[in-house]
């Protein structure tokens, strides 16, 4: 160990085959990486946490250099040298696995010039320019002088997070920019630069920031810029986030994290926006990796109407978890196709990660109360020790809506309308649940499952759902959902209500009309929300240009136009401007009737049955193999 430290101290950091030398003290900053991320580690920490520590170490090196020189972002050649040097040092010292540093989300050499001064808005060459552009004193006070360990001081950590977010939004406004990524990094450097934080202190800051990465679970996901909150209805204090941000700013997705290494580096900093109003609990796992959960887990689970499986029964159903029956894998674990002694096929989601246990308990607690023909059925669960649990669902053989839209085969406009109405009916049932409105919070095509042949659509995955109290303002400190479908108002001000589902459903309607994904590529190499494209389509020719061409040239203009306008109402910026799901359902069913009448009954399917917002006990149908990985 002594020889290793001496080597770190003496090793010159320079770029091979280049005359430009990186001025950062990389060996010192690299000590931030935990041993579980080392190349020779026998532990298997998540790529998310190790990637964040790589980025945090690099940012820490930049902050220390900034404290000495006042430089914020380096010139192009020097920035490139530092990215290459940092990556090479970690590899040569075995401080990170080669597979991690070569991945698209953690590769520092992809586009290092992107980190250079002046390359993008907010990337000022000097800290003084950043600090003169906005008031950083709140963040200075809350971040530099307070303990930030999320374990021992969660409220102080949350206050620092909010202050950094506010500083980022202020820089966005000053630079008239929509790119939160470089502005987030600029704010972080400028806040910490004058204080020259010690390694332990900045490590606690990194732990505070790591919470949101654990929540998102994937560094390849872009960052989101929320729209500003609506004007307050009465004199109460103004919102503390993005009041300075232009009201016309729409949800934007930055594609850097998925396309280039250097953008990944900056992109991690932008995840600070997801920390707004978070309250989380830290858990130490046996291998030293930090995991998170969003709530205190209750050991008491409902049993009525559910079958409590044993470990032996699940092993028998999956032939000992035969790899040939593996349907998919994701952040929580694996999903297997199983067959019960009765012959019923089921989907078994095996949960083995501690940080996902909160979602396991929540899904059981919510689904145990719900029974509706357009909601997937939870057959039962297995509660193991200490952290191996399983959820057993009905199996749907028709795949999910995302796959059906991607294939575009047989998904007629009439069927798309029926799917929309069926999902809407399920949401009306949830929002009018007698014990309190149930907000799904993750309505998207991958969570809409289809029976074989696509005859029936069902809403699935209730791991982040919430049953709201029957009275009160429905305020939550949690931010849940999927980027591209997340209600910007709920995101920015921390309110959760049924209108968040209305927004997400509106995005799904737009996908049904256009065939596009919720996040679409832009000519500049970035990406933006489909909502932005919809808001810009104001004429008939605009609509015609974005309607899914697979509907054919004779697509039904009256109903397609009506659904498009309905979707635009659902994704209104402020919740008070959106319709209720009951209103949406009535309109969709009217459009289906209109379509049937005008078709003279000759070319379309029969009209669906009358809506039901009460519990049903119909026979379960099956879930497709293609859709299982989306459940994890």
The CA distance from 187 to 183, in Å, is 6
Residue 380: which of 304, 319, 440 has the closest Cα? Answer: 304
Q: What is the pLDDT at residue 512? A: 96
For residue 546, report the phi and psi dihedrals to the nearest 5 degrees: -115, -5
Q: What is the pLDDT at residue 143? A: 83
Tell me the pLDDT tens digit for each residue of 464-494.
Answer: 888 887 654 445 545 566 778 888 766 555 5
> Among 3.30.450.20, 3.30.200.20, 3.40.50.740, 1.10.10.10, what is the CATH number of 307-394?
3.30.200.20
Q: What is the pLDDT at residue 328? A: 73
CB contact at 8 A, 117 and 179: no
Phi-psi region of 355 (alpha: psi -120 to 50; beta: other; left: phi over 0): alpha
The CA distance from 541 to 631, in Å, is 38
Q: Transcribe 476-501 into DSSP letters.
A: -S---S-TTTS-HHHHHH-B--HHHH
CB contact at 8 A, 292 and 355: yes
Q: Transcribe 29-75 into DSSP letters.
A: HGGGS-GGGSTT-SS---HHHHHHHHHHHHHHHHHHHHHHH-BSS--
Q: What is the pLDDT at residue 110? A: 66
CB contact at 8 A, 79 and 115: yes
Q: Transcribe 530-591 into DSSP letters.
A: HHHHHHH--SHHHHHHHS-GGG-TT--HHHHHHHHHHHHHHT-SSGGGSPPHHHHHHHHHHH
Q: Transcribe 180-242 into DSSP letters.
A: HHHHHHHHHHHHHGGG---HHHHHHHHHHHHHHHHHH--TTS--EEPPPPPPPSSSSPPPSSS
Secondary structure of residue 505 in the 3-state scheme: helix
Dmax over CA atoms of the chain, in Å, equals 86
Q: What is the pLDDT at residue 23? A: 94
For residue 328, report the phi and psi dihedrals to the nearest 5 degrees: 175, 170
Q: What is the pLDDT at residue 222? A: 32
* Residues facing 380 on adjacent strands: 307, 392
Q: Which H or E run includes 448? A: strand 448-450
- The two tokens of residue 442 are 């993750």
Active site residue 140: no
Average confidence (pLDDT) per 10 residues, the chain, 632 residues: 37 46 92 86 67 84 93 90 89 86 72 76 90 87 76 74 78 80 84 89 79 39 33 41 34 32 37 37 32 43 85 93 82 82 90 73 85 90 81 88 82 93 95 90 92 88 80 51 78 74 96 90 69 79 86 88 95 91 95 85 44 42 36 37
> Which residue of the set 442, 461, 487, 548 is catalytic?
442
Query: Is domain 401-615 in CATH 3.40.50.970, yes or no?
Result: no
Q: Where in the chain is the domain with CATH 3.30.200.20?
A: 307-394
User: Strands 378-383, 307-308: parallel, antiparallel or unpaired by DSSP?
Assistant: parallel
Q: What is the pLDDT at residue 544? A: 85
| Pure H helices in 318-473 | 357-367, 401-407, 413-431
Q: Where in the chain is the domain with CATH 1.10.510.10?
A: 401-615
How far, in Å, are 512, 590, 592, 595 from residue 600 at the CA level?
24, 16, 13, 9
Q: What is the pLDDT at residue 151? A: 64
């Amino acid at each position: 160990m002594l020889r290793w430290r001496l080597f770190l101290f003496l090793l010159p950091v320079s770029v091979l085959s280049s005359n430009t030398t990186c001025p950062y003290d990389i060996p010192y900053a690299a000590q931030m990486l935990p041993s579980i991320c080392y190349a020779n580690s026998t532990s298997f920490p998540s790529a998310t946490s190790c990637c964040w520590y790589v980025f945090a170490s690099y940012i820490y090196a930049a902050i220390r250099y900034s404290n000495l020189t006042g430089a914020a972002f380096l010139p192009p050649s020097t920035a490139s040298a530092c990215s290459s040097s940092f990556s090479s040092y970690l590899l040569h010292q075995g401080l990170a696995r080669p597979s991690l540093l070569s991945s698209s989300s953690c590769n520092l050499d992809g586009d290092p010039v992107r980190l250079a001064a002046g390359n993008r808005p907010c990337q000022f060459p000097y800290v003084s320019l950043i600090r003169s552009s906005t008031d950083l004193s709140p963040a200075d006070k809350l971040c530099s002088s307070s303990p930030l360990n999320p374990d021992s001081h969660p409220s102080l950590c949350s206050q620092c997070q909010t202050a950094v977010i506010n500083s980022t939004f202020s820089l966005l406004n000053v630079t008239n920019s929509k790119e939160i990524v470089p502005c987030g990094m600029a704010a972080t450097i400028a806040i910490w630069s004058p204080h020259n934080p010690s390694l332990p202190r900045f490590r606690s800051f990194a732990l505070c920031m790591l919470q949101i990465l654990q929540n998102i679970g994937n560094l390849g996901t872009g960052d989101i810029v929320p729209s500003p909150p609506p004007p307050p209805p009465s004199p109460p204090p103004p919102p503390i986030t993005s009041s300075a941000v232009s009201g016309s700013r729409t949800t934007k997705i930055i594609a850097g994290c998925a396309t280039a290494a250097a953008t990944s580096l900056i992109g991690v900093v932008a995840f600070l926006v997801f920390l707004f109003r978070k309250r989380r609990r830290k858990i130490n796992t046996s291998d030293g990796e930090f995991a998170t959960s969003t709530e205190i887990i209750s050991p008491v689970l409902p049993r009525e109407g559910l079958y409590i499986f044993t470990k032996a029964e699940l092993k028998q159903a999956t032939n000992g978890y035969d790899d040939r029956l593996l349907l998919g894998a994701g952040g929580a674990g694996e999903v297997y196709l199983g067959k019960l002694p009765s012959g019923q096929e089921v989907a078994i989601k095996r949960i083995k990660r501690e940080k996902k246990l909160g979602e396991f308990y929540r899904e059981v607690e919510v689904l145990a109360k719900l029974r509706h023909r357009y909601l997937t059925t939870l057959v039962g669960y297995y509660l193991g020790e200490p952290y191996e649990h399983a959820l057993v669902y009905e199996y749907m053989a028709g795949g999910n809506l995302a796959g059906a839209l991607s294939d575009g085969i047989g998904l007629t406009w009439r069927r798309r309308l029926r799917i929309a109405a069926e999902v809407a009916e399920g949401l009306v049932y949830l929002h009018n649940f007698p014990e309190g409105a149930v907000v799904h919070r993750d309505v998207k095509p991958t969570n809409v499952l289809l029976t074989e042949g696509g005859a029936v659509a069902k809403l699935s995955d209730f791991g982040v759902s919430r049953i709201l109290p029957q009275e009160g303002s429905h305020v939550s400190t949690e931010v849940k959902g999927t980027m591209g479908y997340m209600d910007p108002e709920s995101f920015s001000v921390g309110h959760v209500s049924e209108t968040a589902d209305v927004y997400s459903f509106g995005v799904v309607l737009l996908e049904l009309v256009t065939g596009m994904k919720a996040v679409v590529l832009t000519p500049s190499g970035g990406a933006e929300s489909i909502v932005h494209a919809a808001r810009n389509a104001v004429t008939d020719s605009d609509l015609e240009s974005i309607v899914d061409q697979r509907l054919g040239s004779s697509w039904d203009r009256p109903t397609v136009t009506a659904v498009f306008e309905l979707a635009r109402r659902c994704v209104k910026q402020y919740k008070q401007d959106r319709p209720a799901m009951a209103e949406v359902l009535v309109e969709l069913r009217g459009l289906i009737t209109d379509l049937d009448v005008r078709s003279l009954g000759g070319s379309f399917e029969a009209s669906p049955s009358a809506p039901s917002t009460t519990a049903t006990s119909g026979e379960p149908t099956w879930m497709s193999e293609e859709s299982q990985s989306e459940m994890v």
